[in-house]
A and B are shown apart, each in its own frame.
Chain A
Amino acid sequence: MPDSEQSETVQSETVQSETVRSGTVQSETVQSETVQSETGAPRVTRPDARPSPRRRAFLLGGLGAGAAGAVAGVAGGYAYRTTRPAPATEVALENAQAGLLPPVPFEGKYQAGILPQPQSQTAVIAFNATAEGRGELTDLFRTITARARFLTAGGTPPPVGIGGPPSDSGVLGPTVVPDGLTVTLGVGSTLFDDRYGLATRLPAGLRPMLPFPNDNLDPAQTGGDLVLQLSAGNQDAVMHALRDIAKHTRGGMQALWRIDGFSSPARPSGTVQRNMLGFMDGIANPDTTSQAQMDSLVWIQPNTAGEPAWTAGGSYFVVRLIRMLIEFWDRVDITEQENMIGRRRDTGYPLDATSIFATPDYVLDPEGEIVPLTAHMRLANPRTPQTADSRILRRGYNYDRGIDQVGDLDVGLVFTCFQQDIKRQFETVQTRLINEPLVDYISPFGGGYFLALPGVVDGTDYLGRALVT
């Protein structure tokens, strides 16, 4: 959720026009609020040393800082209200607890880990390639593919006789269970430098992650030539997969940063998992069962403008590591919290509705009297036809990595999303969020822009084949 550097232009332009639109329009079909809605969002202007005044000003009805400035006249319109079934996440979580998730087929036109609901456990690890030359890079892709095939299918690792140490770490027992493991591999723009002769194959929309205002990016936790996301029903299966892949690729890549994430059960049952702010996260998303929506929002198409042919079937993969300053957040009263998010904390209902999956009707609320114009949910997805193509497939996980220097909990969101075009989608959404009030409570500190490679179509294919051949 950052915003751009190039943002002078992008930012002001987009922000403004979005604002106008949100007032103007109406309906959006279906689903989603795009982005990272209730979750983590970006931050914005670093207020003065003391945030309080600004917060209060916002509460009192001012439109906070720049983000939502003007309200344009509203045209009429309507919004669809939809209800949706409880996400499959719950079922998956129950199965995961039993340790019995079935294998997820590895082969397919698209990588298998992109569309499914978040699993119980995930790890995102960025690597820099250390392979020397295109041949070794190709070996690296083949090896990752071979390990992913085995790990996602499960099976008994071969004993090596007296010829060496065991071939498997054994942390899943003598037989590797698949536990629903998915392995998603992406490439970053730095892979396309002069090392591998890939410069001419750089995807049109791939570049280093833009820092948005108020981001606090740590170079040691940002970027990478490659990224792996490993998701499964249990943490041991994720760890086992990472350990196995690392063991087989030591000479080809070196880990740069890593974060583990988890999904929470829906509480209460039948709702949606909550993030560390206590709000439900990931309520609205494009419909992954709709090929039309996936083709227009998630998958790079053979004819996507400017994209090299090899990227078809891939998807841009944005990872944002977002610390949530939950101690601060917990000292904020509930009305202010709900106004920042745009939903009720207890129920997940939009502030203007009485069901979780209802589509907020901003046309009837042009001044933001019910759902503030700066509410995260509203900025992220204004639900207008003009903003429909900026929707992203959000796949966030919570994270918990201990404590910081003042003893506060280091928890937050591993925000991940997939899309066809980062600029049109993630950056546009993120730009709308630049000055949202929520920024005081979150701190994006790392992540990267990647392109999740096209899938592996058959037993001889490997991830990255179209890129390196």
Chain B
Amino acid sequence: MSAGLLASCGGSSPPANLVSVSNAGCGTNWHAGGLGPGWHTFQIYNAATEAGEVDLIDPANGAIYAEVETIGPGTSSPMRLDLGSGSYAFRCLFEDYDPVTGPTTVIGGHARGTPAILPITNNDLLGPAKEYHAYVTVGLITLLSQANVLAADVRAANLGAARSAWLPAHLTYERLGAAYDSFGSFDEAIDGRPDGFADGVNSPQWSGFYRLEYGLWHGQSARELTPIADKLIANIRALQASWPSTEINLLDIGLRTHEILENALEFQLTGHDDYGSGTTLATTQANIAGTLELLSILHPLLAPRYAGLPAVYTWLDRLNSLLNQNKRPNGHPIPVTQLSTSSREQIDSACSQALEELAPIAAITEPRIT
């Protein structure tokens, strides 16, 4: 929550400043003469014959005040920002051409405007991707060993033991939440929901942890569940085998910082993904752990760029504490439907606020060309 922002909200836009760009020149027609600090809307016009991208940067360090990511040939797009004191230049990026930076305009005084943020490049994200890849490698080893215990219990018809073994294996998978897109179809096979199948929970196509959960908590037999457990092991092994050659999409690293908990709010905190074990709050905690891992890897990039980072940790901590407070005395999770209204509201509230704080990270860490 913040009360800020208001002072600058009421102003009306001045007449647009037309800024023409192409692969030959970038805002060369832009003269800031008489341009004072405050809100301005530039109409960026692409005079070239191909699409391009236009940034308004601080030429001293390449930090970006505002951007128009794609602008088609012959079209224009508004760029609106609050100009503060500082140096400004348009930079144009057209495919197959070197970036072109236009003339620098200086606005004097001591006005604060829209802050410039140092862009993050693909190169900046290679290290974090490698680190995260290694985290997943370790996670998959743990996952396989825990899933083997689960599968062995199912095959041996020790279904009580299987129910106990199910949770740690599932939580290990749920801690790898930043990698699901990279897992491709393995994610659906290992942790898919029945929602997309015509027969729902009765669909023979449904496999993975949730399918096993459904069977283990709905009185299905070891005989019925054994092929499902076997298939789970086979899929985890196949994923593990493919992982060394799998690349993490660099864009995903930032996106997943809020997407993991977006999914937790949608599927775990609602109870949607409770197929019988009543452990969606534990799953949420595993998702928090996965998010924290990602944040830890990105920390060096985020710390100088995101003033809201401490609030991210504050709210993730609060959410985690609330989840810790809402457990059975023996440490088992409480089904979300059995929470008191006030506990549920506090948890949902903390998760939602954490998501608001996390949201800017995806924009900040989007890999940009400089």
Residues of A within 8 A of B (CB): 128, 130, 132, 139-140, 142-143, 145-146, 149-150, 153-165, 167, 247-254, 256
- Distance A301 CA – B178 CA, assembled complex (angstroms): 58
Say yes or no: is B2 at the interface (Cβ < 8 Å to chain A). yes
The answer on a CB contact under 8 Å between B363 and A162 is yes
Q: A130-B349, A252-B353 are in contact. List 11 more A-B contacts (CB 8 A).
A: A154-B10, A156-B9, A158-B114, A161-B67, A162-B64, A162-B364, A248-B1, A251-B1, A251-B318, A254-B345, A254-B352
Q: Which of B115-123, B127-135, B324-332 has 4 or more CB atoms under 8 Å from chain A?
A: B115-123
Known: A156-B39, A250-B356. A128 touches B345 (CB 8 A): yes
Chain A residues in 8 Å Cβ range of B363: 160, 162-165
The 6 A-B residue pairs with the shortest CB-CB distance, nearest first, are: A251-B353, A164-B360, A130-B349, A250-B352, A254-B345, A146-B3
Closest residue of B by beta carbon distance from A165:
B359
- The answer to whether A159 touches B80, judged by C-beta atoms less than 8 angstroms apart, is yes
Residue of B nearest to A142 (CB): B3
Q: Is B259 an interface residue (CB 8 A)?
A: no
B81 on the A face (CB < 8 A)? yes
The answer on a CB contact under 8 Å between B66 and A159 is: yes
B65 interface hit (Cβ, 8 Å)? yes
State which of A154, A161, A248 has its C-beta within 8 Å of the C-beta of B117. Answer: A161
A156-B6 in contact given A164-B363, A249-B1 (Cβ < 8 Å) = no
Q: Is B315 an interface residue (CB 8 A)?
A: yes
Bound Cα distance A159, B1 (Å): 18
Question: A149 to chain B: which residues have CB within 8 Å?
Answer: 6
> CA–CA, A314 to B356, complex, Å?
33
From 32 to 90 in chain B, residues with beta carbon under 8 angstroms from any chain A beta carbon are: 39, 64-67, 80-82
Interface 0/1 of B210-235, CB less than 8 Å to A: 00000000000000000000000000
In the complex, are the beta carbons of B349 and A251 less than 8 A apart? yes
Tell me the minimal C-beta distance from A139 to chain B in angstroms: 5
Given the known interface contacts A150-B9, A248-B2, A251-B1, the answer about A161 and B116 at a Cβ–Cβ threshold of 8 Å is yes
Distance, CA A308 to CA B82, complexed state (A): 45
B86 to chain A: closest CB distance in Å? 13
B13 is an interface residue with CB less than 8 A from chain A? yes
* Contact digits for B1-30, partner A, Cβ 8 Å, 1 yes 0 no: 111111011111100000000000000000
Asked if A155 contacts B117 (CB within 8 A), the reply is no
From residue A249, how far is it (CB to closest CB) to chain B in Å? Answer: 6
Could you tell me the distance in whole angstroms from the C-beta of A164 to the nearest C-beta in chain B?
Answer: 3
Residues of A within 8 A of B9 (CB): 150, 155-158
A174 to B296, CA, bound (A): 36
Which parts of B321-370 form the interface with A (CB within 8 Å)? Answer: 341-342, 345-346, 348-350, 352-353, 355-356, 359-360, 362-364, 366, 368
Whether B67 and A153, one on each chain, are in contact in the complex, defined by CB atoms closer than 8 angstroms, is no
CA distance A143 to B341 in the complex (A): 24
Residues of B within 8 A of A161 (CB): 64-67, 81, 114-117
Question: Are A163 and B8 also in contact (CB < 8 A) when A130-B346, A254-B348 are?
Answer: no
Q: Which of A128, A130, A158, A247 contacts B356 (CB 8 A)?
A: A247
Tell me the complex Cα distance, A143–B119, Å.
31
Residues of A within 8 A of B39 (CB): 156
Q: Once bound together, how far apart are the Cα atoms of A453 and B360, in whole Å? A: 34
Residues of chain B within 8 A of A163, CB atoms compared: 115, 117, 306, 360, 363-364
What's the interface size class on B, roughly? 35 or more
A-B contact pairs, 30 of them (CB 8 A): A128-B341, A128-B345, A130-B350, A142-B3, A146-B5, A150-B6, A155-B11, A155-B12, A158-B9, A158-B114, A159-B80, A159-B114, A160-B114, A160-B360, A161-B66, A162-B66, A162-B119, A164-B364, A167-B5, A247-B356, A248-B1, A248-B2, A250-B1, A250-B352, A250-B353, A250-B356, A251-B1, A251-B318, A251-B350, A251-B356
**B residues in contact (CB < 8 Å) with A:** 1-6, 8-13, 39, 64-67, 80-82, 114-117, 119, 306, 315, 318, 341-342, 345-346, 348-350, 352-353, 355-356, 359-360, 362-364, 366, 368
Task: Say yes or no: A139 contacts B11, CB within 8 Å.
Answer: no
A253 adjacent to B117 (CB under 8 Å):
no
B81:A252 contact, CB within 8 angstroms = no
Q: Of all chain A residues, which has the CB nearest B4?
A: A146
The residue of chain B having its C-beta at the shortest distance from the C-beta of A248 within the complex is: B1
Residue of B nearest to A154 (CB): B10
A138–B359 CA distance with the chains assembled, in angstroms: 25
In Å, the complex CA distance between A253 and B353 comes to 10
Residues of B within 8 A of A254 (CB): 345-346, 348-349, 352
Residues of B within 8 A of A157 (CB): 9
Assembly CA distance A247 to B66 (angstroms): 23
Nearest CB on B from A85, distance (A): 35
B10 closest partner in A (C-beta): A155
Tell whether, in the assembled complex, residue A130 and residue B345 are in contact, meaning their CB atoms are under 8 Å apart: yes
Measured in the bound complex, the distance between the Cα atoms of B347 and A128 in whole Å is 12
Complex CA gap A132/B65 in Å reads: 36
* Residue numbers in A under 8 Å from B5 (CB-CB): 146, 150, 158, 167
Residue of A nearest to B356 (CB): A250
Contact assessment for B2 and A143 in the assembled complex, using a CB-CB cutoff below 8 Å: yes
Residues of A within 8 A of B10 (CB): 150, 153-155
Residue of A nearest to B306 (CB): A163
Partner of B342, one of A128, A153, A252: A128
In the bound complex, CA of A248 to CA of B352 (Å)? 10
- CB closest chain-A residue, reference B114: A161
In the assembled complex, the CB of B34 is this many whole angstroms from the nearest CB of chain A, namely 22
Assess whether B8 is in contact with A158, with CB atoms less than 8 Å apart. yes
- Minimum Cβ distance to chain B for residue A173 (Å): 13
Bound-state CA distance A159–B66 (Å) is 9
Is there an interface contact between B117 and A162, defined as CB atoms closer than 8 Å? yes
- If A130-B345, A251-B1, A251-B353 touch, does A156 touch B13 (CB 8 Å cutoff)? yes
Nearest-neighbor residue (CB-CB) of A149 within chain B? B6
Is A164's CB under 8 angstroms from B359's CB? yes
Residues of A contacting B115 with CB < 8 Å? 161, 163
Q: How far is the CB of B338 from the nearest CB of chain A, in Å?
A: 16
CB distance from A158 to the nearest CB of B (A): 5
Q: Which residues of A contact B66 (CB under 8 A)?
A: 159, 161-162
CA distance A191 to B67 in the complex (A): 45
For residue B11, give the distance in angstroms from its CB to the closest CB of chain A.
7
Question: In whole angstroms, how far apart are the Cα atoms of A167 and B48 in the complex?
Answer: 31
Residues of chain A with a CB closer than 8 A to B345's CB: 128, 130, 254, 256
Q: Which chain A residue lies CB-closest to B355?
A: A250
**Complex alpha-carbon distance, A143 and B6, angstroms:** 11
Residues of A within 8 A of B67 (CB): 161-162
Provide the residues of chain A in CB contact with B114, threshold 8 Å: 158-161
Contacting residues, chain B, for A164 (C-beta < 8 A):
359-360, 363-364
Inter-chain contact B82/A156, CB cutoff 8 Å:
no
Tell me which residues across on chain A come within 8 A of B366, comparing CB atoms: 162
CA distance A53 to B237 in the complex (A): 74
Closest CB in chain B relative to A176 CB, distance in Å: 8
A128, A140, A155, A162: which contacts B1 (Cβ < 8 A)?
A140
Q: Which residues of B contact A130 (CB under 8 A)?
A: 345-346, 349-350
Select from chain A the residue with minimum beta-carbon distance to B64: A162
B315 CB contacts on chain A under 8 angstroms: 251
Contacts of B81 in A (CB 8 A): 159, 161
B5 CB → nearest A CB, Å: 6
B1 / chain A contacts, CB cutoff of 8 Å: 139-140, 143, 248-252
CB neighbours of A167 from chain B (8 A): 5
* A163–B2 alpha-carbon span in the complex (Å): 16
Interface hub of A162, A165, A252 (most chain B Cβ within 10 A): A162
